[in-house]
């Protein structure tokens, strides 16, 4: 067992030399094999490569006047590039800091890992993002690394793990398999010069150019796939809408598509995640930090470029995504230019979602699958942390089978892969893999559970088997279409009604409770509604929605909805989510002034809000809100109950918090860093309000859940 950055047999340099694989080279830990001194490095460098002292600013090189006269922080690429060099180590031929010149003249840098045979041409696995290609996993993300190897120790087998880095694949898993791995630093991050402007349209242009560059290299077959988690997956989605030369397929492992709806403004409410994220993960690796940043153990150089820029220069060279989001409360061109449209995705893809990633990624993974108008698309959904299964054998096997088929052209078993693979979550923590043919599931019984403000009850769970609705299959979109007619069967005590808001028949629903209402403070604990204990086991899998009738004593109201489950003793069950170890079953949000629907894009199970105008409330006047709640999956035994929390501020888990949840910087008592407390977006004069929730009669508020009957 070894930590990344150190070969597992390297307890001393002597042991490392004695035990190294035949044909490999060895250097002192953290030092390139030929760089025991600068003189030795120059003497041993490959023909045509250049070596500079680790961490040395490039303006101190022998380029002299030419370097002194160029703009501060920019690069010069000559026949002998100052910073690019190649070496052989750990069974791979590695090129550090390969320069890629963009059409506007900026130079981005990439590390390239490929097989030893100089004549071997390989398909390319590419990642392009802001997290600094030279920052090793254990250096930059020690808590995540330790949790991952504790939960999945098998990750340590079959690789030295010294090249493991955050949210990208391990080249030692791919190079022996006949692939080249290319890691590109985004403009302004790591070793790539320029303006650090996360999620900007320029980044889309840049990844398209780096893909084209990788496709035309002499060691490339011309087939490129994009692979990575989160930021890297987002970049893959965006490239897939442009289809640059060479891009053949992508794997989007937990990656959003819509910057506004998926990650930044939940139901129109500003998420504070980008503020935390920039401070922890982006500003810390900005190009120009130079000697103030961490050191790449493989090259001995800074992870954040070979120049030291002043704090003032660094500030001028970056844009603050969070502040830009604060300034733009409504959707529009700025947001669209930073999002990927599923309808424009034009390459085969595997979309991998996390049931517990609410507030950032899964909405994009699901909408990418349902919205892309192509046949070669697959959806996989899992649990666990944001990072672990990607690197575990489970994820690697999926990834290799997919890319072997689409990048190598192998006639393997990928075509037998189920169109949808769900890891079905059980209350006892088990995940059971199950093949499905579409999303949402065609046999879903959309069942409405009515809120009763008088009793706090949530009524509507069928006491017997729920009859299957009969949706039409829209095979072009790979999902069920709208419910075209009333289901042929009946849930217990239910009667169909017309969902006039969406202009189509709704789900089967139970009898409505008598009219009632309850009030709560917008910044208080809110209200919780619960079902009676279940008479039998139930599976809830799919998108969730709610309709609430509310009034506010101010001109607006923010609604925070959380679907909860409770054991027979009344204790809430949470799961390890993508980021938070106490993640509830499902969440949804809506700002009441953004309540207007787009009827063409709404479904009975997923309302769609254009967020393009504000419609203030009249204090005291009742309004109807249709609220999207993100997809979920859970199988509950008899005796458990389902709850819905309705409040005006973030959910907070009230149970005991384990050590990881107390220490991890994105663990925020259930929300995974996706909190919503920005005063500029939520002034107390408006949102520290009194909200009245109406239930029953003509204001029958309800929760719509996707109940899955057993297969016949």
In tens, the pLDDT along 378-399 reads 999 999 999 999 999 999 999 9
User: So what's the pLDDT on residue 711?
Assistant: 85
Tokens 């790979």 correspond to 478
> Residue 496 carries which DSSP code?
E
Using a 10 angstrom Cβ sphere, with 0-12 exposed, 13-18 middle and 19 or more buried, the burial of residue 88 is middle
What is the torsion angle, in degrees rounded to the nearest 10, for the CA atoms of residue 485, residue 606, residue 517 and residue 559?
-170
User: So what's the pLDDT on residue 510?
Assistant: 58
Q: Is the pLDDT of residue 326 over 60?
A: yes
Range with the lowest mean pLDDT among 69-83, 250-264, 565-579, 639-653? 69-83
Q: Is the pLDDT of residue 432 over 70?
A: yes
Torsion over CA: 478, 483, 489, 490 (sign): positive
Average pLDDT rounded to a whole number, residues 30-41: 32
Higher per-residue pLDDT: 494 or 670: 670
Smallest CA-to-CA distance from 298 within 78, 137, 101, 450 is with 137
Q: Is the pLDDT of residue 34 over 80?
A: no
Buried b vs exposed e over 57-66: b needs ≥16 C-beta within 10 Å? Answer: bbbebeeeee
What is the torsion angle, in degrees rounded to the nearest 10, for the CA atoms of residue 681, residue 686, residue 692 and residue 693?
-10
Q: Is the pLDDT of residue 208 over 90?
A: yes
Q: Where are the beta strands (DSSP E) in 139-205?
A: 180-185
Which helix (H) or strand (E) is 207 found in, with range? helix 201-215
Q: Is the pLDDT of residue 187 over 80?
A: yes
> Residue 176 carries which DSSP code?
G
Who contacts 39 (Cβ-Cβ below 8 Å, separation ≥6)?
none
Average pLDDT rounded to a whole number, residues 265-288: 96
Which helix (H) or strand (E) is 213 found in, with range? helix 201-215
What does the alpha-carbon distance between residue 194 and residue 626 come to, in Å, rounded to a whole number?
A: 43
Model confidence at 657, pLDDT cuts 50, 70, 90, reads confident
């Amino acid at each position: 067992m070894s930590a990344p950055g150190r070969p597992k047999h390297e307890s001393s340099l002597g042991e490392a030399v004695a035990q190294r694989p035949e044909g490999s080279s060895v250097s002192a830990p953290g030092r390139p094999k030929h760089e025991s001194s600068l003189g030795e490095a120059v003497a041993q460098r490959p023909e045509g490569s250049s070596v500079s002292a680790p961490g040395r600013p490039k303006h101190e090189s022998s380029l002299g006047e030419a370097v002194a006269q160029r703009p501060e922080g920019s690069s010069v690429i000559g026949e002998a590039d100052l910073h690019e060099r190649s070496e052989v180590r750990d069974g791979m031929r590695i090129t550090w800091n390969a320069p890629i010149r963009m059409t506007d003249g900026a130079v981005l840098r990439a590390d390239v890992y490929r097989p030893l045979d100089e004549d071997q041409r390989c398909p390319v696995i590419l990642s392009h993002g802001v997290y600094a290609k030279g920052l090793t996993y254990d250096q930059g993300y020690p808590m995540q690394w330790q949790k991952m190897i504790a939960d999945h120790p098998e990750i340590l087998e079959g690789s030295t793990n010294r090249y493991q880095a955050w949210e990208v694949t391990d080249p030692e898993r791919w190079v022996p398999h006949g692939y080249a791995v290319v890691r590109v630093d985004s403009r302004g991050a790591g070793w790539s010069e320029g303006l650090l402007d996360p999620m900007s349209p320029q980044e889309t242009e840049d990844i398209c150019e780096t893909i084209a560059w990788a496709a035309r290299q002499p060691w490339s077959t011309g087939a490129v796939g994009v692979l990575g988690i989160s930021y890297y997956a987002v970049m893959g989605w965006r490239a897939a809408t442009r289809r640059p030369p060479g891009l053949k397929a992508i794997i989007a492992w937990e990656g959003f598509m819509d910057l506004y709806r998926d990650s930044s403004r939940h139901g129109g409410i500003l998420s504070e995640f980008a503020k935390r994220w920039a401070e922890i993960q982006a500003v810390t690796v900005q190009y120009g930090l130079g000697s103030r940043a961490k050191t790449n153990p493989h090259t001995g150089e800074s992870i954040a470029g070979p120049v030291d820029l002043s704090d003032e220069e660094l500030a001028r060279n970056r844009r603050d995504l969070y502040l830009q989001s604060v300034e733009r409360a409504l959707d529009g061109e700025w947001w669209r230019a930073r999002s990927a449209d599923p309808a424009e995705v034009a390459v085969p893809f595997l979309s991998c979602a996390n049931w517990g990633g609410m507030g950032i990624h899964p909405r994009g993974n699901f909408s990418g699958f349902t919205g892309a108008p192509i046949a070669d698309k697959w959806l996989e959904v899992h649990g666990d942390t944001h990072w672990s299964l990607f690197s575990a054998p489970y994820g690697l096997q999926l990834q290799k089978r997919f890319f072997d088929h689409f990048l190598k052209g192998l006639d393997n078993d990928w075509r037998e892969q189920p169109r949808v693979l769900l890891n079905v979550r059980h209350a006892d923590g088990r995940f059971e893999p199950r093949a499905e043919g579409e999303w949402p599931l065609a046999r879903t019984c959309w069942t409405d559970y009515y809120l009763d403000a008088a009793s706090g009850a949530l009524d509507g769970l069928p006491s017997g088997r729920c009859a299957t609705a009969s949706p039409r299959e829209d095979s072009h979109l790979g999902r069920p279409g709208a419910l075209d007619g009333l289901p042929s069967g009946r849930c217990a005590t239910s009667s169909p009604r017309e969902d006039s808001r969406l202009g189509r028949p709704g789900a089967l629903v139970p009898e409505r409770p008598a009219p009632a209402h309850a009030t709560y403070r917008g910044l208080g604990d809110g209200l919780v509604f619960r079902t009676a204990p279940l008479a039998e086991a139930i599976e809830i899998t799919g998108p969730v929605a709610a309709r609430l009738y509310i009034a506010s004593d101010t001109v607006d109201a923010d609604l925070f909805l959380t679907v909860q489950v409770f054991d027979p003793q009344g204790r809430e069950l949470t799961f390890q989510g993508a980021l938070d170890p106490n993640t509830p079953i499902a969440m949804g949000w809506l700002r009441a002034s953004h309540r207007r629907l787009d009827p063409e894009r709404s479904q009975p199970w997923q309302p769609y809000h254009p967020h393009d105008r504000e419609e203030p409330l009249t204090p005291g006047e009742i309004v109807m809100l249709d609220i999207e709640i993100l997809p979920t999956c859970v199988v509950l035994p008899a005796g458990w109950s389902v709850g819905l929390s309705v409040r005006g501020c973030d959910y907070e888990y009230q149970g005991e918090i384990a050590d990881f949840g107390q220490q991890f910087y994105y663990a925020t008592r259930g929300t995974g860093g996706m909190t919503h407390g920005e005063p500029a977006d939520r002034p107390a004069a408006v949102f520290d309000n009194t909200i009245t929730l109406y239930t029953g009669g003509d204001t029958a508020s309800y929760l719509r859940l996707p109940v899955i009957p057993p297969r016949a």
